[in-house]
Amino acid sequence: MDSIAVKPPSGAALASPKVTKNAKTAAVTANSMESSVAFGCEHVRELFEEAKKAATRNYIQILQTIHDKPSIIAQTHRSTANADGRSVVSLRPLYLCLQCPNVMTEEVRDGHFDAKGHAFSVESREGYLYCHPCADYVYDPALETLRLQKGKKRKHEEMNSPDNSQLIRHNSTFVPCRAIGLRGLYNMGQTCFMSVILQTLLHNPFVRNFYLAEGHKPADCEKDACVSCAMDEIIIEFHSAEKTEGYGAVSMLLGSWMAAQALAGYQQQDAHEYMQFILNTLHLENGGSTDSHGSDCGCIIHQTFAGMLQSTVTCDKCRNVTTALDPVMDLSLDLRSQAKKRKLQQSGDGGDKDFAIDIRDCLDRFTGRERLAAAEYTCGNCGGQQQNATKQLSIKRLPPVLPIHLKRFEHSKSSSSKLETKIKFPLTLDMYPYTTHCKTTAPTTKASLKNPSLSNLNSSQNINSPYPSLYYELSSVVVHKGKIDSGHYVSYSREGNDWFLFDDSKVVLVPESEVLAANAYLLFYMVGALEV
């Protein structure tokens, strides 16, 4: 790609042309359909005056990279997290500089403009042109024609004949950028448990993109009251029309009742149990079977949520190690033992009674060593004798989306109770310390990297190497308010950089601080990046 040097633009930035609606028909007007502007903005005009030929050639090359080559190429950039330059696959759109061969994240894009003065970049999914001085995407007629052609050599007249233009004007429906799934769900009689789980799936990019790409085709489905068809109906509705009123998920409720008799009726249900139900049902209705396991099932649900736990038991006498693998769709973390431990610490220190447990402490306990009495373990290597042993769980394989269930509800024969203990959880969670790889290799904690005598490090290991990490970003939070038998569920989900509260049919923009202060019941973390 040719490098283009353009003098950084000066003066006030000009706004890009906007698409307007006809107030009566809500259709796109003819003048807005075929824009008559000469340039996308003043900065594009300056670019074309100085280097139009090179800019056009570079734009065509970028479009060909996006549309003709494997999609992973345009989504791969050099990591700047540890200054090691590793290739990382981003799950969010990247930006390809129009004036040099750089592929950047949104943050690096802004710094690139400050350092190099390169004002234009191309979005990696659809090829939209971003102008940094305008701080917006801009519509330029010449470049838009190339974008629609996807970098291929086709005459403009072949695509935009008078007959086609007239056909487009009379049959097109205006779809605004606001149709991004920000819509509530009506409560149809204590159905908030269903609504919060549906909202987490609606804002899960893996599940959402599967349905928007016609991964499940209702026209070809012969099942009555199909839950997957109902999910397709909701996602298409939420992403195809600009509506602010709530949506009645009648088909989903009926499908749930038909698939599980325990859900039938208008009693309050547990959101975690409903999540397990709908994930299993969507698995079965999208190519999965009852014999499929997380390791070999190719359905969208297992590709998104399926992980693997490893249980390791070590005999205290002969040190024989036995391992077992267990597929999981979520992690269930115990709170009561952590709450008791923290309460004792607080009472001993005379601290604040309104204490909070850090979720990382719960994960440490979940993957910590557990003593097994001789009555609980029989060692095959010791001739079938009962021996004391040590058991440890670790995460063998992490899924792209990791649901974490916090055990707030306890049930016994005589009563049920809810644990109101506050849980601290971060926006970004490093899952590497809880993986099998971390547990079974030489310790590489930050303390041991600073002081090699603290651990038995490999001689081949570089002490100065970056600390291993597997970062997950918080994407949704489900909260249960009130008592166990008369409570209400709400959820928070992230859309872009903004957080929204979903309370039945009400949708409210909320600050990040409110999300982190929520008394969470379910947490959904999504992998930040995929290395190649």
Q: Are residues 167 and 47 in the same domain?
A: yes
b/e code 86-107 from CB counts within 10 Å (16+ = b): eebebeeebbbbbbbebbbbee
Residue 241: left if φ>0, alpha if ψ -120 to 50, beta else—which one? beta
Owning domain of residue 227: 191-286
Six token digits for residue 282:
């969507």
Q: Are residues 213 and 111 in the same domain?
A: no
pLDDT at 331: 95
Q: Are residues 159 and 212 in the same domain?
A: no
pLDDT means over runs of 10, the chain (532 residues): 55 35 36 49 88 91 88 79 72 89 89 90 91 88 86 56 64 53 90 95 93 91 92 91 84 92 85 95 88 74 94 92 93 79 57 75 92 89 88 94 92 78 94 91 50 41 60 96 88 92 93 95 89 49
Q: Are 130 and 136 in contact, with CB atoms under 8 Å apart?
A: yes
Q: Are 309 and 393 in contact, with CB atoms under 8 Å apart?
A: yes
Of residues 388, 357, 360, the one with CA closest to residue 375: 388
pLDDT at 347: 56
Q: Are 517 and 479 in contact, with CB atoms under 8 Å apart?
A: no
Three-state SS letters, 133-171 = CCCEEECCHHHHHHHHCCCCCCCHHHHCCHHHHHHHHHH
pLDDT at 451: 43
Q: Are residues 244 and 162 in the same domain?
A: no
Within-domain flag for 157 = yes
State how far the Cα of 124 lies from the Cα of 154, in Å rounded to an integer: 22
Find where tokens 């996308």 sit: 40
Three-state SS letters, 40-80 = CCHHHHHHHHHHHHHHHHHHHHHHHHHHHCCHHHHCEEECC
Q: Counting Cβ atoms within 10 Å, is residue 365 exposed (0-12), middle (13-18) or buried (19+)?
A: middle
State how far the Cα of 27 lies from the Cα of 29, in Å rounded to an integer: 6
Q: Are residues 143 and 212 in the same domain?
A: no
**pTM of the predicted model as reported, rounded to 2 decimal places:** 0.67
* Max Cα-Cα span within the chain: 87
What's the number of CA atoms in the CB half-sphere (13 Å) around residue 124? 24
Within-domain flag for 46 = yes
Within-domain flag for 253 = yes
Domain CATH number, residue 68: 3.30.40.10
Within-domain flag for 99 = yes
3-class DSSP state of 229: helix
Point out the domain boundary residue: 286, 308, 330: 286
> Residue 345 phi/psi, 5° resolution?
-65, -40
Q: Are residues 74 and 157 in the same domain?
A: yes
How far apart, in Å, are the Cα atoms of 89 and each of 74, 113, 252? 9, 22, 34
State how far the Cα of 92 lies from the Cα of 75, in Å rounded to an integer: 8
Point out the domain boundary residue: 252, 286, 320: 286
Q: Are residues 227 and 164 in the same domain?
A: no
pLDDT at 11: 41
Within-domain flag for 229 = yes
Let me know the angle formed at the C-alpha of 294 by 289 and 297, rounded to the nearest 5 degrees.
45
How far apart, in Å, are the Cα atoms of 287 and each of 263, 277, 299? 24, 16, 6
Task: List, in order, residues 6 or more apart from 355 with CB less than 8 Å away.
Answer: 342, 343, 346, 421, 422
State how far the Cα of 293 lies from the Cα of 102, in Å rounded to an integer: 41
State how far the Cα of 524 lies from the Cα of 404, in Å rounded to an integer: 6
Helix 205-212 with 227-238: angle, nearest 10 deg? 90
State how far the Cα of 404 lies from the Cα of 383, in Å rounded to an integer: 40
pLDDT at 457: 41
Within-domain flag for 301 = no
pLDDT at 530: 63
Neighbours of 339 (CB within 10 A): 17
- Active-site residues, by number, are 192, 488
| Total number of domains in the chain | 2
Six token digits for residue 208:
């959402």
What's the number of CA atoms in the CB half-sphere (13 Å) around residue 207? 24
Total residues found in the chain within this entry = 532
Point out the domain boundary residue: 114, 142, 171: 171
Residue 523 host element (H or E):
strand 520-527
Q: Are residues 50 and 132 in the same domain?
A: yes
Q: Are residues 143 and 238 in the same domain?
A: no
Within-domain flag for 387 = no
Q: Answer positive or negative: Cα dihedral of 348, 354, 355, 357.
A: positive
Amino acid of residue 457: L
Q: Are residues 143 and 199 in the same domain?
A: no
Q: Counting Cβ atoms within 10 Å, is residue 18 exposed (0-12), middle (13-18) or buried (19+)?
A: exposed
Q: Are residues 165 and 57 in the same domain?
A: yes
**Cα-trace Rg, the chain:** 27
Within-domain flag for 382 = no
Q: Are residues 158 and 201 in the same domain?
A: no
